[in-house]
Amino acid sequence: MSTSYTLENIRKEKATMQLLWIGMVSICMFFAGLTSLVFVDNMEIPSESDWFLYSTVIVLFSSLVYLIVSRNIKRDKPVSFLIFMVFILGLIFTYCQFQGWSDMRNNYGIIFTGENPETGQATPKEHSYFYAITVAHFAHLIFGLIALFITFFNALRNKYSSKKFLGIKLAGTYWHFLTILWVYIYLFINYT
Amino acid sequence: MIYLLIGGLLFLAIVTFVQIIRVSELLSKIRNKDVNEVTENDNNIQGKILLVVGFGFLVFVIWQIVAWKHLILPPASSLHGVEIDSLMNTTMMLILVVFFITSIILFFFGFKYRGIKGRKAFFYAHNNKLEIVWTIVPAIVLSGLIVSGLKVWDSTMNVTSENSQIIELHSRQFQWAARYAGEDNILGKHDFRLIDRATNPLSLDKGDKYTIDDKITNEVHLVVGKPVMLKFRSDDVIHSAYIPHFRVQMNCVPGVRTQFGFTPTKTTQEMREDPQIIRQMQELNDRIDAMSLIEKTVFLDENFAKTVDDLPLKFDYQLLCNKICGSAHYNMKMKFVVETQEEFDTWIAQQKEVGGLVLTKK
Amino acid sequence: MSDHHHKETFITKYIFSQDHKMIAKQFLLTGIFMALVGMLMSAMFRVQLANPGETSILYNLMPSNWMDPDTGALLQDKYLALVTMHGTILVFWVLTAGLSGTFANFLIPLQIGARDMASGFINMLSYWFFFAATVVLIYSIYVPSGPASAGWTIYPPLSAEASYIEGSGLGMTLWLVSITLFIVGSLLGGLNYIVTILNLRTKGMSMKRLPLTIWALFVTAILGVLSFPVLLSCGLLLVFDRSFGTSFYLSDLIIGGEAAHHIGGSPILFEHLFWFLGHPEVYIILLPALGMTSEVISVNTRKPIFGYQAMVLSLLAIGFLSFIVWGHHMFMTGMNPFLGSVFAFTTLLIAIPSAIKVFNYLTTLWRGNIRFTPAMLFAIAMVSTFITGGLTGLILGNAPLDINVHDTYFVVGHFHIVMGLSAIYGMLAGVYHWFPKMYGRMMNKNLGYLHFWGTFICAYGVFFPMHFLGLAGLPRRYYANPVDMGQITDINDIITFFALAGAVIQFIFVFNFFYSIFRGSPASKNPWKANTLEWTTPVERIHGNWPGDLPEVHRWAYDYSKPGAEEDYIPQNVPLKEGESEH
């Protein structure tokens, strides 16, 4: 293997990371488009359920764990269990989200669409909006979970080393991005 | 006829290019040369064609201006419209001057510098002075346009409804209705949930005391020289109220209130005596005259809801819908009449009050 | 190098190819097909406008329920369907995907000296998403209730409720599905273009030496990546409103005589979100054409493009400004007049970089030695339409003047000339110029000339008179003329005549294109004597572009007729001579 080939490889790795970064910029624009609505219209988004606080804590914790993953792989320490842990935390986050949505629906009467059975009033768009933005985040999270699972699977098969861990970097960057995105959305729905 | 034309064109085109290809291929074989190489001769011919067609286009533009000048809208019939027109004329003159100068340079350079074998082009990569000049000059001209534009925009859009007659324009697929605010000049409330196509098509709140003296009409009469404030409402999709002769346009958006205030300055009668309008109507009436009786009847009925007895047609202000709103979008219009105070008073007195229609006045 | 020589089957070579050159051709062929579909639609509604209420053989191309059973005339709402599909196809399919999809894919790796895109796989996905979008869109034309008919801008509530117009039922749903696939495809493509340009430039190819084509495609890709996701969020909320009964854009509606439950939404929100994409989209269409025109003009005048730096800066300026001008599409929506002033101000600013570009083009022509290839003629025509159409923008961008011409034929004339024609001319210039590189054969020159002059004359014949219709107060998207303007019929007849003639002439191009793929005379390696790197590759198509090492770049792309050089061009991979200054 010649040096130029490795060089080309390094450049390709850099390019792949950049692909992800620009993709994330794109996703940011998608959410910017959604959030701009609130500022144009001065909406007040509901955020009653406590479950979303729990999910925020869990997703932050999962990101911390992933930081350890990144540190370990650079020193060739085992990572597969930690990645699995992040994946499980991701599933718990998912559980919290679903609990939160059903909590909002059942206990606070905040529904996505349809008529309020008591008042007969149509759902205000603030309520629909709450579901739109949280579910949109969840849709992006599914890809994060898939990425984590593939990374975990590859880590089990010892595919990564301190010299070659692009997969771990990619999955991690995206996962941290999802965390930041969720924290943003959480603050956003709470403070508007 | 048009199909014959299309067919002929198609046939000619196919014959032409098959022949051209054949001939050029044969020629290239004879000369043992690549047929598709651009030669000096090509440069010469194409450069000349560019000059001729380019200038032909400029002549075509001038011809259009001369031939169709009378078809464009006559000078505005409203106060703010006069300002818009004057800015429009300035901008248009500027645009035409720049258009002719740059186009002439473009076509002329193309012709003048058509390639000659052995000549070397002038290596001229940049000249900062020149580039700064043509950054700054457009910037200055544009600032002039922007400043005067914003002035006109400001005075046009920031009109208060004090002293104005208030009229609501209600739009739905595919018709307009007008509601005069009545003697109190205050429109009664409305709520779309009160809709009843048969008895309350404008979903008015009949309990509101301001509603009682409102008057619903299917054409709008305005008093010349008296400011009017149009308030727009839509029942279904976005419509746009466009009254070109007044230079008035505003969207009617369901759920959003929009308005436009202006002052008409020419009565319908005065417009009918305007030479440009007379010429436009003359051409329209000539066109109708050329039709057979059946064609005339259908044409008048479909487009004007009129009969042959109403000929020749006379000018009227029209409100057009200018935002795509469905199948009959093109036919959604309403008549506007501008008249003197006396004429208006007579007309408005004949219109029934909402209260009189449905409720009894206290 | 090993992975550049693996065996290709028919499927990996022509269908699921990951080679950027093949993907570019796939985009081009799909683009040409869609351009013909869009053009035939315009021919149909032009025939309707010239002979309102009469039948035409052209209508038989459409499902039979588009015509009145008695008279055979085009139905009113199907006229709107034609207008809508024409707009959608031309704006997105032809001038976005067909133009930048083709040339970004083809030119980026070749001109920056890369073996392929950063990710061939994502690149392939990008095309197949686009292809799926195409299939869905074409299918939507044939559903019984007709395709989307609310205008290509799909403003709700018209696009939200099938009882307002028939096409807003299944047709609109398919439109939204199709556009979502399209956006995903565009984003995948755009990511790849940006990353490739940033990372895979060959040695010596600094950003300051990039050909202007690549600069233009780079800015275009950035605009796409930033603005398309916003359209996606805009469309998503529309889907919720349409299918799930939410009220983001809807309020105070009466449907079928009954009050609907929607309350609190605003269609204006939709317009803001839509035009936040919609305006950058205009430059996504225009910038690649400007870039390719720069390249073609420089090669064929045998002169460096004048003011390279100013050209790059003006591209960046136009790209930046395009994000803060969207409100000029909404002057008449009743938005705050102050906001209107701001948007009028930013809009007119765009005229400055545009003026710089025009003057630089003119100076490039000055004292050149012009070789009139068909590509060069199209490039000159592009400058001409950019001037003609750009200038009327000064009227439309100035808020008070917009009041009277907003949504009239004046706008139609303006944007068809400045955006439609300019971009199409840029695209055709690109096809004629790079055809030898794409297919290894030359396109027939004389047919090219015939096609050009026919197109140039007819296109101005179609779109210039439209300004007069607009100034006469004729609104756009009208099935027939409002009768007070009956005398305008003459202008309409002229436009329709030129439109049909122009449409027929395009078949010369189609014939030439396919004839030349198979029968054209073989092209040499560098038929135009151009400097950029793509002309250093062999004539035969190979995966990996260059057989040996990648070329090294020593100079900018515009060393034409440089004093002291023997030839009138010096390719970018030729080292500087001793004592030779770079520019």
Whether residue C232 lies within 8 A of chain A, CB to CB, comes out as yes
Identity of the residue in C225, C247, C273 whose CB atom sits nearest the CB atom of A25: C225
Q: How many domains does chain A have?
A: 1
The residue ranking higher by pLDDT, B102 or B283, is B102
Whether residue C233 lies within 8 A of chain A, CB to CB, comes out as yes
DSSP for B40-78 reads HHHHHHHHHHHHHHHHHHHHHHHHHHHHHGGGSPPSPSB
> What ipTM score was computed for the predicted complex, to two decimals?
0.93
Residue B321 pairs in a beta bridge with B241
pLDDT score at C485: 65
Q: Taking 50 as the threshold, does the pLDDT of residue B360 lie above it?
A: no
pLDDT score at A5: 52
Measured CA to CA, the distance from residue A20 to residue B216 in angstroms comes to 61
* Rg, Å, chain A Cα set: 20
| C187 contact residues in A (CB cutoff 8 A) | 23, 26
Collapsed DSSP state (helix, strand, coil) of residue B264: strand
Asked whether the beta carbons of residue C246 and residue A128 sit closer than 8 angstroms, the reply is: yes
Do A164 and A12 meet the contact criterion of CB atoms below 8 Å apart?
no
The predicted model gives B126-152 an average pLDDT of 92
Q: Taking 80 as the threshold, does the pLDDT of residue A34 lie above it?
A: yes
Collapsed DSSP state (helix, strand, coil) of residue B123: coil
Identity of the residue in C119, C200, C262 whose CB atom sits nearest the CB atom of A11: C200
Other residues' Cβ atoms within 10 Å of the Cβ of residue A119:
8
Other residues' Cβ atoms within 10 Å of the Cβ of residue B342:
9
Continuous segment of H or E residues that includes residue B15: helix B2-31
Probe site for chain A from C4, C198, C231, C247 (most A CB atoms < 10 A): C247
| C225 contact residues in A (CB cutoff 8 A) | 22, 25-26, 29
Q: Taking 80 as the threshold, does the pLDDT of residue B316 lie above it?
A: yes
Q: Which domain holds residue A180?
A: 3-190
Collapsed DSSP state (helix, strand, coil) of residue C55: strand
Position B32 confidence tier, pLDDT thresholds 50, 70, 90: low
CATH number among 1.20.1090.10, 3.40.50.300, 3.40.50.980, 2.60.40.420, domain B159-362? 2.60.40.420
Asked whether the beta carbons of residue C400 and residue B38 sit closer than 8 angstroms, the reply is: no
Q: How high does pLDDT run on average in chain C?
A: 91
Identity of the residue in B71, B138, B192 whose CB atom sits nearest the CB atom of C487: B71
Probe site for chain A from C4, C116, C195 (most A CB atoms < 10 A): C195
Measured CA to CA, the distance from residue A61 to residue C561 in angstroms comes to 64
The conformation of residue B29, written as its DSSP 8-state character, comes to H
Q: How high does pLDDT run on average in chain B?
A: 88
| B327 contact residues in C (CB cutoff 8 A) | 75-77, 80, 165, 479
Chains A and B share 3 or more Cβ pairs within 8 Å: no
Asked whether the beta carbons of residue B106 and residue C504 sit closer than 8 angstroms, the reply is: no
Position A2 confidence tier, pLDDT thresholds 50, 70, 90: very low
Asked whether the beta carbons of residue B329 and residue C80 sit closer than 8 angstroms, the reply is: yes
Continuous segment of H or E residues that includes residue B249: strand B248-252
Six-digit token string for C275:
């035009």
pLDDT, tens digit, 9 for 90 and up, residues B225-275: 999 999 999 999 999 999 999 999 999 999 888 999 999 999 999 999 999
Position A1 confidence tier, pLDDT thresholds 50, 70, 90: very low
| C269 contact residues in A (CB cutoff 8 A) | 37, 40-41
Is A145 buried (19+), middle (13-18) or exposed (0-12) by CB count in 10 A? middle
Residues 6+ apart with CB under 8 A from B295: none
The predicted model gives A82-87 an average pLDDT of 94
CATH number of the domain encompassing residue A179: 1.20.120.80
Probe site for chain C from B232, B323, B333 (most C CB atoms < 10 A): B323
pLDDT score at B354: 80
pLDDT score at B211: 87
Do B354 and B204 meet the contact criterion of CB atoms below 8 Å apart?
yes
Say what angle helices C374-396 and B40-68 make with each other, to 10 degrees. Answer: 30
Q: How high does pLDDT run on average in chain A?
A: 88
Measured CA to CA, the distance from residue A37 to residue A187 in angstroms comes to 16
Asked whether the beta carbons of residue B36 and residue C500 sit closer than 8 angstroms, the reply is: no
Q: Taking 50 as the threshold, does the pLDDT of residue B362 lie above it?
A: no
Whether residue A17 lies within 8 A of chain C, CB to CB, comes out as no
Position B135 confidence tier, pLDDT thresholds 50, 70, 90: very high
Do B145 and B91 meet the contact criterion of CB atoms below 8 Å apart?
yes
| Phi and psi at residue B240, to the nearest 5° | -140, 125
The residue ranking higher by pLDDT, B362 or C88, is C88
pLDDT score at B3: 66
Measured CA to CA, the distance from residue B215 to residue B181 in angstroms comes to 7
| C356 contact residues in B (CB cutoff 8 A) | 131, 134-135
Whether residue A12 lies within 8 A of chain C, CB to CB, comes out as yes
* Rg, Å, chain B Cα set: 30
Sites in chain C below the pLDDT cut of 70: 1-8, 483-486
Do C295 and C181 meet the contact criterion of CB atoms below 8 Å apart?
no
CA distance A144 to chain C (A): 18
State the amino acid at position B162 in one-letter form.
E
Share of chain A above pLDDT 90, in %: 56
| A40 contact residues in C (CB cutoff 8 A) | 269, 272
Beta strands in B142-219 (DSSP E): 165-172, 175-180, 215-217
| C244 contact residues in A (CB cutoff 8 A) | 112-113, 128
Do B355 and B212 meet the contact criterion of CB atoms below 8 Å apart?
yes
CA distance C300 to chain B (A): 9
Do C515 and C444 meet the contact criterion of CB atoms below 8 Å apart?
yes
Residues 6+ apart with CB under 8 A from B27: B35
pLDDT, tens digit, 9 for 90 and up, residues C489-516: 888 889 999 999 999 999 999 999 998 9
The greatest distance separating any two alpha carbons of chain A, rounded to the nearest whole angstrom, comes to 74
Six-digit token string for B258:
């929009």
Pair type for strands B215-217 and C254-255: unpaired
Chains touching chain C through at least 3 C-beta pairs below 8 angstroms are A, B
